[in-house]
Amino acid sequence: MGQDGHEALSPQIAKLIDRLPKVELHVHLEGTLEPELAFRLARRNGVRLPFRSVREMRAAYDFSDLQSFLDVYYAACAALVTREDFRELTAAYLDRAHADRVRHVEPFFDPQTHTERGIPMGDVIGGILDGLAEGEKRYGITSGLILSFLRHLPPESADATLAEAEPWLDKLVAVGLDSSERGFPPEPFAGTFARARTGGLRAVAHAGEEGEAQLVARTLDALQVSRIDHGVRAADDITVMRRLAESGVVLTACPNSNVRLRVLASMDQSPVKKLLDAGVAVTINSDDPAYFGGYIGANYRAVAAALDLDADDLVRLAANAIDGSFAPDNRKLELHSELAIASAG
Ligand code: ADE
Ligand code: ZN
């Protein structure tokens, strides 16, 4: 077994994964909140977490499905109160991302989780932007921030959130949609997404994680997104898979998340290779790495080991993430040059 608890990788593939310049398109900043930081911030802010210790908090990370995870994830967010907390959260993620050779990231944040607790929108966005700017200065990691709406809240709340974020819209690249998928379809959010697109933002949305392949198609129709987050269930339906391949819509797969949330019975059931071979622009990402046992490098290693991916597959996954990002063209060119050097060994 390798260090991530999976079949050992060949040394060549392991080294290639280490070297790959990575672009991360699906990571929730709140999902990078490690228990140690959560307890430190909670103590500083005089907030009680529903766990007695770091160890008890980690022990609660035995999830039966998406909702059982979201319950813990939202509860832990109580630790995040000040602008400085959001800066520290972002900076801590970027330290780990740099260690994994992430060169560009488009992280999500869920403002409603915080504004509903009375935290000002400006403190949330301001702290995150401070952290991202520091990460670019220190590590050269470029970024584009994605404001994600919670689909278990009414579309009116999403609309009000977009309006509240108005002063910072030019600091964001896109809007997203996340949280519980079952029972919360995409169509009610069509108006909010149309307004965000008119305001110059791109659009992405979670779909086809626990929900069936048809929800991927319905999300494309209703929300006009350029990327589907997760989307692994699309592999169950050849028509949906073909539509993705032909339209160039990117899938942001998160292998460890899928196994930990029991979307997949085991890593070898991951459809990543099937999607790649069908011409779908699939990418590898970490989702909520503090909860799912590893950051982006661990996700590349786990899926490569379980599916026996070769160097061409891995370079294609990394290239798909560059092309699927919202980075400016000149930045994409730089990232492709870095990838060419890394893949040449
Ligand atoms: N929010 C954070 N992680 C999520 C996931 N995997 N699915 C839906 N919403 C989320
Ligand atoms: Zn997600």
**Sequential pLDDT tens for the chain (345 residues):** 444 545 689 999 999 999 999 999 999 999 999 999 999 999 999 999 999 999 999 999 999 999 999 999 999 999 999 999 999 999 999 999 999 999 999 999 999 999 999 999 999 999 999 999 999 999 999 999 999 999 999 999 999 999 999 999 999 999 999 999 999 999 999 999 999 999 999 999 999 999 999 999 999 999 999 999 999 999 999 999 999 999 999 999 999 999 999 999 999 999 999 999 999 999 999 999 999 999 999 999 999 999 999 999 999 999 999 999 999 999 999 999 999 999 998
**For residue 7, what pLDDT is reported?**
64
Active site residues: 209
* Residue list, CB under 5 A from ion ligand 2: 287
In-domain check, residue 164? yes
In-domain check, residue 182? yes
**Ligand 1 close to Cβ of residue 112 (< 6 A):** no
**Residue in 70, 146, 150, 259 to alter for ligand 1 test, most ligand atoms within 8 A of Cβ:** 70
Residue of minimum CA distance from atom 4 in ligand 1: 179
**Residue in 179, 230, 259, 261 to alter for ligand 1 test, most ligand atoms within 8 A of Cβ:** 179
For the chain, report the end-to-end CA distance as a whole number of angstroms.
25
3-state SS assignment for residue 326: coil
Assess contact for 125 and 80: CB atoms under 8 A: no
Ligand with the closest atom to the CA of 209: 1
Q: What is the dihedral of CA 59, 64, 68, 69, to 10 degrees?
A: 60
Ligand with the closest atom to the CA of 287: 2
In-domain check, residue 246? yes
Ligand with the closest atom to the CA of 26: 2
In-domain check, residue 1? no
As a 3-state breakdown, the chain gives helix, strand, coil percent values, each rounded to 5, of: 60, 15, 30
3-state SS assignment for residue 22: strand
Assess contact for 261 and 3: CB atoms under 8 A: no
**Residue in 63, 64, 66 to alter for ligand 1 test, most ligand atoms within 8 A of Cβ:** 66
- Per the structure, the complete domain to which residue 318 belongs is given by 6-343
The rounded distance, in Å, linking the Cα atoms of 318 and 6 is: 21
CA 137 to chain centre: 22
**For residue 2, what pLDDT is reported?**
46
**For residue 341, what pLDDT is reported?**
97
Place of tokens 């339209």: 247
In-domain check, residue 214? yes
Q: Which of 28, 228, 216, 200 is nearest to 109 (CA)?
A: 28
The rounded distance, in Å, linking the Cα atoms of 275 and 272 is: 5
In-domain check, residue 339? yes
Backbone dihedral angles phi then psi of residue 48, each to the nearest 5 degrees: -95, 125
* Long-range residue pairs from 74-78, CB within 8 A, at least 24 positions apart, any chain: 74/113, 75/49, 75/50, 76/30, 76/33, 76/35, 76/38, 76/49, 77/30, 77/33, 77/110, 77/113, 77/114, 78/42, 78/47, 78/48, 78/49, 78/117
The rounded distance, in Å, linking the Cα atoms of 246 and 216 is: 14
**Ligand 1 close to Cβ of residue 229 (< 6 A):** no
> What CATH number corresponds to the domain at position 323?
3.20.20.140
Q: What is the dihedral of CA 244, 247, 248, 249, to 10 degrees?
A: -60
| Residue 62 CA, ligand 1 centroid: distance in Å | 16
Backbone dihedral angles phi then psi of residue 183, each to the nearest 5 degrees: 85, 0
Which amino acid, 293?
A: G
> Which of ligand 1's atoms lies nearest the C-alpha of 257?
6
Nearest-5° Cα angle at 298, 342 to 259: 135
Please give the tally of structural domains in the chain: 1
Name the DSSP letter for residue 24: E
Residue of minimum CA distance from atom 7 in ligand 1: 179
